Amino acid sequence: MQENLFVAGHTACPGCGQAIAARLVMNAAGKNTIATNATGCLEVFSTGFPHTSWKIAWIHSLFENSAAVASGIEAALRHLGRKENINVIAQGGDGGTADIGLQALSGMLERGHDVLYVMYDNEAYMNTGIQRSGMTPPFSNTTTSPPGKYSLGNPRPKKPMVEICAAHGIPYSASTSVGYFRDVEKKVKKALSIKGPKFLHIFVPCPLGWRHSSSQTLEIAKLVVETGLFPVVEYEDGRLTNVMRFKELKPVEEFLKLQGRFKHLMKDSPEVKSAIEFLNQVVKYNIEKYELIKK
């Protein structure tokens, strides 16, 4: 039986997708791993002094510089001639990656460090009060994008982080969802087998911020892919090389109805119909761009 390298005893919410994903990532990476971790939910709930859930070398970075700290670790290992067979992984949430940490991430990718960056995407700043981030989806209810008389929630689309990273010309940039355990593990192992900078975007539901039952985390993590709202893809050297495809996609409402953050989209009004149509257009765009439907 494989030893878990991210162990129980932390204080994550029941059903936390990020905690599940962190265990999958660490177990796939193995003991010879050094990980940095941006300030955020994962750091806070896993390392309440004097305890830790990490059974690897782990370093807490600032909110914005997980990639920079990992770059320094990788450079030091190379200078000492000890990088061989040691994995360096930088970790951050969507806010600490796509917003506050984007500059440090871009620098890490551009300089060519042999580091895997893992972004755990729970689609808002959950640790500081459920504020919207650059990865919050359209029409989501957050504390800084509440729906009301003049709004249906967050007005902006998610940043295309996999494509942003792939555009740096790196060897590997991919997405996956915690609902697909084997896909997460396979992509972590594949990324770590490649020399150079790598990026992995993992979709991780948050029961607290999304207001869904803790028992529905994995169901929701699969539905976002099965509806076409979150394509699971791989880019290698800037080229799209692999896509998770389906014979047919499920209606977007199947994903929305399980979450309180989209409760306002369950009403019957012209504005809501327009919002649902917008999301269907997002799916249509993804179908055309990634050929999500099996032929």
Q: Provide block-wise average pLDDT over 10 residues at a time, the chain (295 residues).
A: 90 97 98 97 95 97 97 98 96 98 98 98 97 98 96 96 98 98 98 98 98 98 98 98 97 98 95 97 98 91
Q: In whole angstroms, what is the distance from residue 289 CA to residue 153 CA?
A: 26
C-beta of residue 122 within 8 angstroms of C-beta of residue 93: yes
Amino acid at residue number 175: S
Q: What is the structure's pLDDT at 2?
A: 76
CA–CA separation, 189 and 89 (whole Å): 12
Q: Can you name the CATH fold of 17-290?
A: Rossmann fold (3.40.50)
Q: How many residues does the chain have?
A: 295
Given a contact cutoff of 8 angstroms between Cβ atoms, the answer to whether 99 and 134 are in contact is yes
Cα 28 off chain centre by: 16
CB 142 within 8 A of CB 124: yes
**DSSP bridge pairs for 177:** 203
Structure-token pair, residue 115: 């580091």
Residue 238's alpha-carbon distances to 19, 167, 174, in angstroms, are 30, 6, 11
Q: What is the pLDDT of residue 1?
A: 65
Q: What is the pLDDT of residue 3?
A: 87
- pTM recorded for the entire structure: 0.97
Name the CA dihedral angle for 163, 228, 89, 55, rounded to a multiple of 10 degrees.
Answer: 170
Query: What would the two tokens of residue 189 be?
Result: 């192992």
Residue 227 near residue 184 (C-beta atoms within 8 A): no
User: Which residue has 């529905």 as its token pair?
Assistant: 216
DSSP category for residue 266: G
Residue 176 in contact with residue 187, Cβ under 8 Å? yes
Dihedral, CA atoms, 176, 189, 72, 59, nearest 10 degrees? 80
Q: How far apart are the first and last CA of the chain?
A: 40
- Cβ atoms of 165 and 109 within 8 Å: the answer is yes
- Measured between alpha carbons, how far is 247 from 239 in angstroms, rounded to an integer? 24
Residue 121: CA count within 13 A, CB half-sphere: 28
Half-sphere exposure of residue 221, counting CA atoms within 13 Å on the CB side?
30
Q: What's the confidence (pLDDT) of residue 111?
A: 98
Q: Cα angle at 245 between 243 and 249, to 5 degrees? A: 135
HSE-CB of 182 using CA atoms within 13 angstroms: 1
The per-residue pLDDT for range 46-84, each reduced to its tens digit, is 999 999 999 999 999 999 999 999 999 999 999 999 999
Given this model, what pLDDT does residue 217 score?
98
